[in-house]
């Protein structure tokens, strides 16, 4: 996009919404939108991508599962990732077996930890976006 435009705006579902079960109408309890292949979030001006593997439906995040639903009910703006860019799009793609591993203990970072980090960063950037809208 930055090859054909000087500035733009990208909006995607947030990792928070991609972790909720049943958000895709008719999906039988799967997490997020079943046709989406990536978690996408804004990390201080860098658009980050990480593959949303089917195993995410089988990960147990304990109390975080209910917290996510409550957070989205209280802050609907957190359903999406918001990314405005100028001149170029700064991005990073996290790769399996390079940045994390699907099996806990095989690399420094486990996929589940990366998912939680994406949720945390998405939460922070979503609230920052909302704050800027009010200013």
3-state secondary structure of 38: strand
Tokens of 37: 């292949």
Q: Tens digits of per-residue pLDDT, 45-102? A: 999 999 999 888 888 888 888 888 899 999 999 999 999 989 999 999 999 888 888 8
pLDDT over 70 percentage in the chain: 92
Q: What is the pTM of this model?
A: 0.87
Q: How far is CA 75 from CA 2, 15, 80, 107, 123, in A?
A: 31, 14, 11, 34, 10
């Amino acid at each position: 996009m930055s090859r054909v435009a000087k500035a733009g705006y990208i909006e995607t579902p947030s990792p928070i919404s991609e972790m909720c079960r049943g958000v895709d109408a008719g999906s039988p309890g799967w997490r997020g939108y079943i046709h989406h292949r990536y978690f996408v979030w804004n990390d201080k001006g860098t658009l980050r991508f990480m593959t949303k593997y089917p195993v995410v439906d089988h990960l147990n995040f304990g109390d975080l599962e209910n917290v996510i639903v409550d957070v989205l009910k209280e802050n609907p703006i957190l359903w999406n990732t918001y990314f405005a860019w100028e001149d170029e799009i700064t991005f990073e793609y996290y790769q399996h077996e390079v940045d994390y591993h699907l099996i806990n203990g095989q690399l420094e970072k486990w996929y589940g930890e990366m998912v939680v980090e994406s949720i945390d960063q998405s939460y922070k950037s979503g609230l920052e976006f909302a704050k800027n809208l009010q200013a």
